[in-house]
Structure 1
């Protein structure tokens, strides 16, 4: 597939499945120091939260989101899924994060070298496979002033994702059409693709024909979204994907962006989302994430929806101050 229009500009957001919503908030805000930039609900299952985390201003390319389903079954990562989500940090932040993870009892592994990067593998409380990638191209970012993590060491946004597939070929072709150039083999198992831009610019593929299919559930990724600048480019991509015989949805208004969804040839659910209007379309910047917000088409059901959601405590205990 080739195109005469703008390629996707990297990762827009990644959405994963979790279990306990309060535990999810505590880990991503208190441990990782991300900002809760939006409290809403899964628009396809409105009695489940949709929680969005990001940098200090909710920038595109920094947003890790979750559908936390209380008492959800545990998922199993396998073929046809995102295997790992990787965040960018500054190279000087590695020691800080190792010490922080150790002090807070996070499930992590010792830093390892992968090409010119230092990688800290870790898992969240639901077992989601995550990495901190210390990369020389990490941007300065937009730190969150109330984070328990010092500005210089805060997560800057996405580095990328690793896809677990049976075979790489058709997916590799699609990624190249989307603007991810093939870099080559990083190691014996991993093939890298890189886009322009400074956030969400890497997709790695690990292909293994003998690996079993993944099982959705807590601790697995639901989908990965790639960003485009505007609605015109969005529609052009939709038509291009239809021409490729991929089963693409109609455009869906998610209030903060417009979305289309499809399964790439290896089975991973992809989304293409617009950069605008963004998270401040319905909240002031200073108030992001402080209240449950609903798109106007769900506002009439607010009382019903709120009655089915467990209230969240989003106040951060002063136990890990930013000067530690």
Structure 2
């Protein structure tokens, strides 16, 4: 194995109405929209990135919102739940907060190690907030709707639901450099690097789950971190030598990416930590303007005519919002 991931980079899902998506993830979850761009492979729709103040890897949730998209089906061959890390003792506040914005949330599990709260976004995507006593030193985005003392610190973990977990777990251990840290029933928890929030994946083996259908309200892919493009290229060569069908390195402007499917059917991405989201707009202004890569700038007028106009809450850019 040439390299090993240090954890989650981002999760990307499919949505419907972009304004409802923005309102839920900024006002509901208290994240910051750090980039408003388009799907580089299908520039008729947005690609929205949410995260902490700077959109650091491991804090990110991204969406392709397609107006009128049909509902998907959450099931086998998908990442079926995305969890964010919040402070211990905060879930009661979150239940009240979600009620205040019209979203129903419920605490689904409590144990000595962690508590979980489940909420669904406007398209039915399953989002969990996980409160543990494990230290999470990442700084939150301190927003008007979610004060820092309760706020999301970043990704906690993702759940992969597959028919047969053996191949999925084998790939994650042998090809991604993760390690098994816990097994209980049909669930296996794997950790990357030093472990902890942002470095965890739960593999759930289920022969009863319906086959997943990727459409509205489902995860499209999950991405793992690699520090730079040099490491990414070496890792790609290693994956190809092991028989995986891996894309070429693709320029996503704010990072570069490779993609492949694991044996259970989940689409994996390996994304670089660099160059980041402030390469084309200042930190204070992240998310305010539609940003396009150089190769799409000549089509800006046509693209702006196709995407739905949206507005951002002023809390997204409090120091510059007009």
Shared fold (TM-score, shorter chain, > 0.5): yes
Post-superposition Cα deviations, 1:5-44, rounded to whole Å, max 9, x if no partner, equal: 4311100000000000000000000111100000000001
Alignment partners' CA distance in 2, 1:310 and 1:103: 27
The equivalent residue for 1:322 is none
| Residue matched to 2:271 | 273
Of the candidates 14, 29, 46, which is equivalent to residue 43 of structure 2? 46
Shift of 1:115: 6.0
Unaligned runs of 5+ in 2: 317-322
Moved more, 243-252 or 92-101: 92-101
**Counterpart of 1:321?**
none
Q: Which of residues 74, 79, 97 is equivalent to 1:77?
A: 74
Q: 1:223 aligns with which of 221, 232, 236?
A: 221
CA–CA distance in 2 between the matches of 1:285 and 1:262?
A: 32
Where does residue 247 of structure 1 map in the other structure?
Answer: 245
Assess, with a 3 A threshold, how the Cα gap between structure 1 residues 63 and 304 changes in structure 2: closer, same or farther. same
Deviation at 1:50, TM superposition (A): 0.2
Q: CA RMSD in A?
A: 1.6
TM-score, normalised with respect to structure 2: 0.94
The equivalent of 2:319 in structure 1 is none
Q: Hey, what does 1:125 align to over in structure 2?
A: 122
Asked if the contact 2:142/2:151 (under 8 Å) is kept, the reply is no
1:37-186 map, 5 Å = 37-114=34-111, 116-177=113-174, 178-185=176-183
TM-score, normalised via structure 1 length: 0.93
Which residue of the partner structure matches residue 26 of structure 1? 23
Q: 1:285 matched to which residue of 2?
A: 283
Residue 287 of structure 1 and its aligned partner are, at CA, apart by 0.7
Structure 1 spans left out of the alignment, 5+ residues:
319-324
Q: Distance in 2 between matches of 1:235 and 1:50?
A: 25
Q: Does the CA-based 8 Å contact 1:48-1:68 persist in structure 2?
A: yes
2:90 aligns to what SS in structure 1? helix
Deviation of 1:317 (Å):
8.1
Give 1:141 shift: 2.3
Q: Deviations over 1:225-282 (max 9, x none)?
A: 0010011210111011112211100000100000000011110000000000011111
> 1:114 Cα shift?
4.9
Find the aligned partners of 2:198 and 2:170 in 1 and give their Cα distance. 19
Shift of the 140–317 alpha-carbon distance from structure 1 to 2, 3 Å rule, reads closer
Count of aligned pairs = 314
Shift of residue 218, structure 1, vs aligned partner: 0.8
- Deviation for aligned residue 1:104: 2.5
Q: Which residue of 1 aligns with 2:308?
A: 310
Q: Are the aligned partners of 1:37 and 1:52 in contact in 2 as well (CA < 8 Å)?
A: yes
> C-alpha distance in 2, partners of 1:286/1:64?
19
Structure 1 residue matching 2:69: 3-state secondary structure: coil
Contact 1:107 1:124 in 2 (8 A): no
Per-residue CA shift, 1:53-76, capped at 9, x if unaligned?
Answer: 001121110010000000100000
Deviations 1:62-113 (A, max 9, x none): 0100000001000001110001000000103222112212332313223412
